[in-house]
Amino acid sequence: MELAINPLTPGFAAEATGVDLQSGAGDNLTAAIRQAWLDAGGLLVVRDQNLTTERHIEFSKHFGPLFGDPATEPLQETVSIYIHPDHPEIYRVSNQVEADGKPKGRKGAGTYWHSDVSFRERPAGASILVAKQLPDVGGDTIFCDQTQAYAALSDAMKEMLVPLSAVHDFEVAARTQYAQPIVVEDDMSGANMAVHPIVRTHAETGRKSLFVNPGFTSHIEGFDDDESAAILGFLYEHCTRPQFLYRHRWQDHDMVIWDNRSLMHFAVMDYPDDLPRYMERTTIIGDRPT
């Protein structure tokens, strides 16, 4: 087999075919996939990857250190019940329950626009999600390219935004997206909060993008509540215009790699519980936004 890359939209996102990562990925192949991911604007769909959990973790380490890896930086996971019991690097997404009644993964994970773990000093770089079991229909994930969105702003708006910073706080999502019993006290006391520039420069490509999201961004520093809400509301509406979006319809054994430094995403939960869905995600620790 030979690696082939094809665009999925005119602006960003591509698919990769012709590789079997379960059989192993040498340095050259891994480097080629990683470059294709960057060239595609940070979204690469690698088709037909029936990966074991162990192989998924091994491949992900080529993108950087993993949240939850005991050998690097243990994940202070907000909802530990969703972490794989044998592999702390794996966050599980599912609408199913185990025989003992415990969730097999987070039901309704990411059903709001967000960038993974943006509330940390070092937010997520890449996320790598593998489809293990899919409903017959539904369960799409929508991605937003904040690089294109930034480029489309007027020069005056760019000039205003560049010096600004925004606060990212897990509490924004915790109070609306998570059931209270599974949110630990530290998550509601500022332990998961960070300040990041609104306009971020990508450490590898040098491209500039917006770096705010409705899921975790609470406010802009130095503005009152109404001013902050007005600016953020404009940016969210601007970013989610159709020309900046790609809607991914999952296929069996898809592996999707996305760049949290320049993309937001939204999981569409339009499937019932009698249509099982189970996915596993690794999350790479990224750089400090600049």
pLDDT of residue 175: 65
Share of the chain above pLDDT 70, in %: 91
pLDDT of residue 284: 97
The rounded mean pLDDT for the chain is 91
pTM above 0.85, yes or no: yes
∠ CA 286-134-10 to the nearest 5 degrees?
A: 60
Band (pLDDT 50/70/90 cuts) for residue 71 is confident
Catalytic residue status for 281: yes
| Among the ranges given (39-48, 127-136, 188-197, 199-208), the one the predictor scored with the smallest mean pLDDT | 188-197
Catalytic residue status for 120: no
Query: Who has greater pLDDT, 27 or 272?
Result: 272
| AA identity, residue 267 | A
Catalytic residue status for 116: yes
Domain ranges of the chain: 4-285
**The pLDDT of residue 176 is above 70:** no
pLDDT of residue 183: 41
pLDDT of residue 177: 55
| Among the ranges given (36-50, 158-172, 188-202), the one the predictor scored with the smallest mean pLDDT | 188-202
**The pLDDT of residue 276 is above 50:** yes
pLDDT of residue 100: 87
Q: What is the mean pLDDT of residues 276-288?
A: 97
**The pLDDT of residue 186 is above 50:** no
Q: What is the mean pLDDT of residues 76-84?
A: 69
Catalytic residue status for 200: no
Distance CA 43, CA 281 (A): 15
Indicate which residue of 56, 114, 120, 202 is catalytic.
114
pLDDT digits (tens, 9 = 90+) for 23-48: 877 889 999 999 999 999 999 999 99
**The pLDDT of residue 152 is above 90:** yes
Indicate which residue of 56, 92, 116, 120 is catalytic.
116
| Among the ranges given (59-68, 186-195, 271-280), the one the predictor scored with the smallest mean pLDDT | 186-195
Query: Domain 4-285: what homologous superfamily?
Result: Clavaminate synthase-like (3.60.130.10)
Q: What is the mean pLDDT of residues 236-240?
A: 98
Indicate which residue of 92, 168, 265, 277 is catalytic.
265
